[in-house]
Amino acid sequence: MNPEKLKVAIVGASGFTGSELARLLISHPEVTISMITSESHVGKPFSDLHPQFYSRLDIPLESADQVEKVDVDVIFLALPHGVSMDFVARWKDKGAKIIDLSGDFRLSSKEVYEEWYGKKHTYPDGFKTSVYGLPELFSKQIGDADLVANPGCYPTASILSLAPLYALGIIEADSVVIDAKSGLTGAGIKANATTHFSNVNENFKAYGIAGHRHTIEIEEQLGGLAGSATTVQFTPHLLPVDRGILATSYAKVKGEMNQEKLTKIYHEFYQDKPFVRLRNQAPGIKDVRGSHFCDVFPVWDTRTSRVIVLSAIDNLLKGAASQAVHNMNLMFDLPEDTGLNQLPLKP
Amino acid sequence: MNPEKLKVAIVGASGFTGSELARLLISHPEVTISMITSESHVGKPFSDLHPQFYSRLDIPLESADQVEKVDVDVIFLALPHGVSMDFVARWKDKGAKIIDLSGDFRLSSKEVYEEWYGKKHTYPDGFKTSVYGLPELFSKQIGDADLVANPGCYPTASILSLAPLYALGIIEADSVVIDAKSGLTGAGIKANATTHFSNVNENFKAYGIAGHRHTIEIEEQLGGLAGSATTVQFTPHLLPVDRGILATSYAKVKGEMNQEKLTKIYHEFYQDKPFVRLRNQAPGIKDVRGSHFCDVFPVWDTRTSRVIVLSAIDNLLKGAASQAVHNMNLMFDLPEDTGLNQLPLKP
Amino acid sequence: MNPEKLKVAIVGASGFTGSELARLLISHPEVTISMITSESHVGKPFSDLHPQFYSRLDIPLESADQVEKVDVDVIFLALPHGVSMDFVARWKDKGAKIIDLSGDFRLSSKEVYEEWYGKKHTYPDGFKTSVYGLPELFSKQIGDADLVANPGCYPTASILSLAPLYALGIIEADSVVIDAKSGLTGAGIKANATTHFSNVNENFKAYGIAGHRHTIEIEEQLGGLAGSATTVQFTPHLLPVDRGILATSYAKVKGEMNQEKLTKIYHEFYQDKPFVRLRNQAPGIKDVRGSHFCDVFPVWDTRTSRVIVLSAIDNLLKGAASQAVHNMNLMFDLPEDTGLNQLPLKP
Amino acid sequence: MNPEKLKVAIVGASGFTGSELARLLISHPEVTISMITSESHVGKPFSDLHPQFYSRLDIPLESADQVEKVDVDVIFLALPHGVSMDFVARWKDKGAKIIDLSGDFRLSSKEVYEEWYGKKHTYPDGFKTSVYGLPELFSKQIGDADLVANPGCYPTASILSLAPLYALGIIEADSVVIDAKSGLTGAGIKANATTHFSNVNENFKAYGIAGHRHTIEIEEQLGGLAGSATTVQFTPHLLPVDRGILATSYAKVKGEMNQEKLTKIYHEFYQDKPFVRLRNQAPGIKDVRGSHFCDVFPVWDTRTSRVIVLSAIDNLLKGAASQAVHNMNLMFDLPEDTGLNQLPLKP
């Protein structure tokens, strides 16, 4: 191992997020993967779970207990919500920075968490120190953090769609509708009726109507930008594709607006953000597949006096794994795009 | 030919709509297909264009000119907008009823048409007699009509989503957002960049933002139900599937509302409509694929005080061909479900 | 219930085959569905399992035990292999004809079954009376049978591809390769890694190489036609589609051959078989989707002196449910195409 | 521009191959893209044609005439066959090495070319100097070449499947069947009936039966390895996916064989080839998507005494663009894996 490289542990290897983290980190010039864990596959090569890594990443999977015994600089938790919190509590004083990709520390408090996730939070102190890991909004705080709560996939696309308007405080109360569509990997690697090919292929439907957990994450962040609580109508749908989120957001704004002014607001807000691409046509999810980009396209509809914003991300990357690597770069003072310049794989 | 059966001509055989009309009509117990036309394929067997019909519908294609020379009871125009109008003008006194599947006679006037379609209307008199062919709203008028304008696919799903609320006059002005998603067949059989497999597969994007022609069709019909003009925000998206439309509609309503009341409103409105199925869970487009059903699921969101309605149709059937057959049944006093009881093909 | 209609029971409602049987039988003019069973869902409406049937087939599911108590003319067993055999043994003297869609009675003997299926056969007497239900080869025997073993999906496509040549005894020993590709529904409705969307979508691979159970079924039937044992190389692959099998078969033949002669052999063999369509171009699986057709296209390659035959079926229909209905028609002296004239759903 | 980097021109930017070359070369550490040409889009930014490159590769497209005027080290011709040959003739003395991705110089002679491609070859001298650019077989010759004919996609997968056996001379004459399946991008970016979404999606069929041009390319290369002419039966099929080729190859071999011996033959043959991965299970095309790998899995079927080899590549990469970059690396004495270590994008 190169002693100058960051030593990382990936906890939770069996899912898509763990696999994508491994793919990015194995090519990251400043990183050495020290350990990958999976409780149910201890001893198996990583490539047994994810055959695409065959001959390139065959290291044996270990138990999370082993993380205690090694010296690592950063731990990525690619675990389900409700599981991560215990590991954060356990390793908080280990001297490693932690990037949690679950929903356990994204919200403002134990109370809000328990209301929306319907389960008890066992480490509420984590809310005091965790930083919401959306680099376009909080790069400075992330740089100083020891615990980063990596954002949800839908919230990433949704917040980046409307942040410039909320930051100006010009969104009309009660006017926001976010109609979002995600590829199937958002539903996870677990085999069940939802993920059965024949229920997804050639199909399309809404789910989590009027109650999806990402709603509160979006509301807290957008409300925070505006300086006052906000309510959004958020409806997710399941697309018959592997990857990608497209969010179509609708809002009424206060005061005069036109296309030129709208475009200018977005350009100013994102001028130093290398991974937000302001487009001048409707982005497709394939324009960003396999990349860390968030493509955003704001439209002013003169006829209805409404703003419509389209935004596209790869849910496994900007919506999860590459965002986590971006956060790592910020936490360790690396150039923020280190290891993240993959161009989209299209077609 | 059975002299008691309806003799039909299908004008325009090369597209998906013409092919679906043929598929339905060949199995319709009260119909004989007298003629199918296609200017660019005269003389070829119909099954050359659509090989799935091989050995079952091999009749030679004819020129539309031949329609003049035969006695038919009903003419289906499966033609692009801008082309249909001339045929309607030409055949209006032929003694056959006409069902036009294009957009040429769906709107209220020449002026509105020319504004939204950007081309001159050559037969404005047609607007005086044409009936908007949505059987759930206008079955009586359709029964008396000689010219039916078969509704657009998006309008069918959108109007049926919100009609019960508009009919009660309880929709709040300026609150309606319709976020709609369609399978690729909505883009037609023509080969171009939009329909190239690699631009559709694993992709998803919005189009026609803030200006799609179906917007005005929806607004006119819903406004008509309410008795006053209405504006809707309509955004279509392209799904990587062959068939199906899912419309997700959002609206604020006046007065008190709750789930029970909402459900009751919909049940009463659609109680005698055999092809609208009020669901108690979110419908997928595959639940209606290959059928004449429109599945509707209205939800009341207490938290946001907003109505969300999901509706699903097969864009080629309830959104085009089977709706046309339904109209034919009404026009000739047949039981309205004659030849239309196909169950969805799923998976 | 119409006393003159056939009363049928469908045993095993949760899978794709049970659902397709229900779809076909509900529209069959000579059938009344008396009962549908599912041990794990007793009491639930059938449409709870298969929402596409909502409002059209909501009858409560029953336990298979109830089949004992009712008078039915025909029982369809839509069960896994290894399960069907017990029900056949139990109901063999009930006075109902049985059509078994599993693999339990397709082979020649208990010994062959146990070798290839790796499990004990509990009702070997069934092999004495069961008839292999491929109507194109055995319509007369099926007409007289009380127990029909409905063929496997791959065997249906494979046998129909090569039967005309085997029947003439002109296939060269050891020359046959059948490279077959099936849609995912062939893997069943059970959720597991194989059927997870992300393992199927945009993917393609072979499975069961050199040992798939359908190999022996194909070999027994083709060998039977030739009058001597035969060996075939059979390799199945998994397509990222819902439905359809395409079999590409390769064979060397004895004696002179050319395209004209080859075409003639196939036309003569299938001249009275309404559901085998001899095509003059390569069939796609979508040309037969949703129909009972088997499209066959035999090609002579002068350069290599080899016959190549393409054949396409819908694995859930001609490969399962509609073939079972076809067998029922033959068993009850109905016109063989009764209830089976659905045209392919394309696109 | 870094004066020490290789200056490259990509001629033909509008297709998938040009776009993939750009994607790989922009990240290649030893390369500077000097110029990209497209006759029909001169002056437009490259990212106008391929929006996924927006903000990362916006350089204006130029005319191929401009290639004359600049100093480049290597020219990639991403052009259709029949077009490339003229550019090769024109630029042969320019002092740049040429990698031609078309089929114009892959075969042994003008005569063979004209027979299989059905068009006149205008620069037959090219056959004398061109080297077939399959690095696993000809790395030394490629290293010395000025003109490399980049292999076809099917031939790459097919030749690598059987090369170890042909090289030993143990293939039985007339026994080889290669049943190959390709994603749609193999059909190119041109919009036509073949590439229309609705003809590809949920569909699958064979094409080019008994006469595809890649047949002779495979035969010449495999025959060359064996030292005597060979005939193969090659049948391509079209998969409803964007990328990937799976070739299923069947062969009889001379002498004794078993699985252990077969595996050993392949391991020895490919021991120093970093991009051929010998798998111990059937590879899926998604295991290699987005990568330069060719996954190979040889199986011995004791029952039929036949070898079955599965091989999977990404047709746009190992089957085109990354193979071209691999060839460039060899031609300029760079480590052969420079810029080619992308891991597969899965799911």
User: Under CATH, which number does the domain B153-313 receive?
Assistant: 3.30.360.10
Q: In this structure, what are the phi and psi dihedrals at residue A6, rounded to the nearest 5 degrees?
A: -70, 135
- Give the right CATH number for B6-150+320-331 from 3.20.20.80, 3.40.50.720, 3.30.70.100, 3.30.360.10: 3.40.50.720
Q: What is the pLDDT of residues A178-189, one digit of tens each?
A: 999 999 999 999
Which pLDDT score, from 0 to 100, does residue B341 have? 95
A289 touches chain B (CB under 8 A): yes
In chain A, where the domains are located? 6-150+320-331, 153-313
C191 touches chain A (CB under 8 A): yes
Q: State whether B191 and D192 contact (CB < 8 Å).
A: yes
Q: What is the DSSP letter of A343?
A: P
Q: What is the mean pLDDT of residues B33-62?
A: 97
For chain A, the average pLDDT equals: 97
A157 touches chain B (CB under 8 A): no
State the Cα–Cα distance between residues B83 and B12, nearest whole angstrom: 10
Which pLDDT score, from 0 to 100, does residue B110 have? 98
Q: What is the pLDDT of residues B167-209, one digit of tens each?
A: 999 999 999 999 999 999 999 999 999 999 999 999 999 999 9
Q: What is the pLDDT of residues B82-97, one digit of tens each?
A: 999 999 999 999 999 9
A51 touches chain D (CB under 8 A): yes
For tokens 């990608």, the residue is: A244
Q: What is the pLDDT of residues A146-192, one digit of tens each?
A: 999 999 999 999 999 999 999 999 999 999 999 999 999 999 999 99
Residue B2 confidence class, pLDDT cut points 50, 70, 90: low
Which pLDDT score, from 0 to 100, does residue B3 have? 65
C287 touches chain B (CB under 8 A): yes
Distance from CA of A35 to the nearest CA of D (A): 19
For tokens 């000579």, the residue is: C30
Tell me: pLDDT of A281 over 60: yes
Amino acid at A74: V
Helix (H) or strand (E) segment spanning residue C308: strand C306-313
CB pairs under 8 A between A and D: 71
Yes or no: say if A295 and A283 are a contact pair by the CB < 8 Å rule.
yes
Chain C residues close to B279, C-beta within 8 Å = 51, 54
Q: Is residue A347 reached through a cis peptide bond, with omega within 30 degrees of 0 on the bond before it?
A: yes
Q: What is the pLDDT of residues A44-67, one digit of tens each?
A: 999 999 999 999 999 999 999 999
Among all residues of chain A, which has the CA nearest to that of B182? A204
Q: Give residues 234 to 273 of B whose Cβ lies within 8 Å of D.
A: 240-242
Q: State whether D241 and C282 contact (CB < 8 Å).
A: no
Q: What is the DSSP letter of C282?
A: P
Yes or no: say if C295 and C235 are a contact pair by the CB < 8 Å rule.
no
Distance from CA of D164 to the nearest CA of C (A): 20
Residue of A106, A64, A58 lying closest to A82 (CA atoms) = A106
Q: Which residues of chain C have pLDDT under 70?
A: 1-3
The residues with which D276 forms a beta bridge, in sequence order, are D294
Q: State whether C52 and B185 contact (CB < 8 Å).
A: no
Q: What is the pLDDT of residues A225-239, one digit of tens each?
A: 999 999 999 999 999
Which pLDDT score, from 0 to 100, does residue C219 have? 98
Q: State whether A241 and B306 contact (CB < 8 Å).
A: no
Q: State whether D51 and A287 contact (CB < 8 Å).
A: yes
Q: Which of C27, C52, C283 sits opposite B341 (nearest CB)?
A: C27
**Mutate which: D185, D202, D302, D309, vs C, most C CBs within 10 A:** D202
Three-state DSSP at C42 gives coil
Per the residue annotation, which of A153, A222, A247, A262 is the catalytic one? A153
Q: Is C294 a catalytic residue?
A: no
C189 touches chain A (CB under 8 A): yes
Cα C333 to the center of its chain, rounded Å: 20
Yes or no: say if C156 and C311 are a contact pair by the CB < 8 Å rule.
no
Q: Which long-range contacts (CB under 8 A, 24 or more apart) does A14-18 make?
A: A14/A38, A14/A40, A14/A41, A14/A49, A14/A189, A15/A78, A15/A188, A15/A189, A16/A185, A16/A188, A16/A189, A16/A316, A16/A320, A16/C198, A16/D347, A17/A78, A17/A101, A17/A316, A17/A320, A17/A321, A18/A78
D344 touches chain A (CB under 8 A): yes
The CA-CA-CA angle for residues C232, C237, C240, to 5°, reads 155
Q: Which of C179, C231, C284 sits opposite D179 (nearest CB)?
A: C179
Q: State whether C242 and A201 contact (CB < 8 Å).
A: yes
Q: What is the pLDDT of residues D266-298, one digit of tens each?
A: 999 999 999 999 999 999 999 999 999 999 999
CA distances from D288 to A290, B79, C124, D189, D292 (A): 14, 44, 46, 22, 7
Q: What is the pLDDT of residues C106-126, one digit of tens each?
A: 999 999 999 999 999 999 999
The CA-CA-CA angle for residues D64, D70, D76, to 5°, reads 50
Q: State whether B209 and A308 contact (CB < 8 Å).
A: yes
Query: Could you list the active site residues of B?
Result: 153
Q: State whether D287 and A27 contact (CB < 8 Å).
A: no
Q: What is the mean pLDDT of residues B22-50?
A: 97
Q: Which residues of chain D have pLDDT under 50?
A: 1
Yes or no: say if A9 and A63 are a contact pair by the CB < 8 Å rule.
no
Q: What is the mean pLDDT of residues B107-116?
A: 98
Among all residues of chain D, which has the CA nearest to that of A340? D27
Q: State whether D52 and A279 contact (CB < 8 Å).
A: no
User: Two tokens at A295?
Assistant: 């493509």
DSSP string, C86-125: HHHHHHTTSS-EEEE-SSTTSSS-HHHHHHHH-S--S-TT
List, edge to edge, every strand of the sheet that includes B177-182: B205-206, B233-238, B177-182, B245-251, B306-313, B294-301, B276-278
A190 touches chain D (CB under 8 A): no
Any chains having at least 3 CB pairs less than 8 A from chain B are: A, C, D
Q: What is the mean pLDDT of residues A270-276?
A: 97
Q: State whether C240 and D244 contact (CB < 8 Å).
A: no
pTM for this one?
A: 0.98
Q: State whether D287 and A52 contact (CB < 8 Å).
A: yes
Q: Which of A203, A210, A282 sits opposite B286 (nearest CB)?
A: A203
Tell me: pLDDT of B1 over 60: no
Which value does ipTM take for this structure?
0.97
Yes or no: say if B266 and B164 are a contact pair by the CB < 8 Å rule.
yes
Residue B259 confidence class, pLDDT cut points 50, 70, 90: very high
Yes or no: say if D98 and D74 are a contact pair by the CB < 8 Å rule.
yes
Three-state DSSP at B205 gives strand
Query: Could you list the active site residues of D?
Result: 153
Q: What is the DSSP letter of D283?
A: P
Which pLDDT score, from 0 to 100, does residue A299 have? 98
Query: Can you give A192-243 as a three-state secondary structure string?
Result: CHHHEHHHHCCCCEECCCCCCCHHHHHHHHHHHHHCCCCCCEEEEEECCCCC
Distance from CA of C192 to the nearest CA of A (A): 5
Distance from CA of A330 to the nearest CA of B (A): 31
